[in-house]
Amino acid sequence: MPHGCAWASKKLYPYQQYAIETLFEKMQTGANQLRLLYQLPTGGGKTLFFLKLPIVL
């Protein structure tokens, strides 16, 4: 985890963690033309979600 980043110590909410798990499940299905959409309302935590995604990978 990057040192000194304010977001690095924040944890994902359960719905965000569930979304990441679902995303990887869909990617593992091996669909040839996989198109995914992640949608949340304003303030739903999209930025933190996408900042944490590379860490999970």
- Alpha-carbon gap, residue 26 to 24, rounded angstroms: 5
Q: What is the pLDDT of residue 31?
A: 63
Q: What is the pLDDT of residue 34?
A: 72
If pLDDT is split at 50, 70 and 90, which confidence band does 56 have?
low
Contact 49, 16 (CB under 8 A): yes
Domain boundaries, the chain: 9-24+43-57
The per-residue pLDDT for range 1-55, each reduced to its tens digit, is: 455 577 667 888 898 888 888 888 877 876 667 777 778 888 888 888 888 777 6
Q: What is the pLDDT of residue 10?
A: 80
- Alpha-carbon gap, residue 38 to 40, rounded angstroms: 7
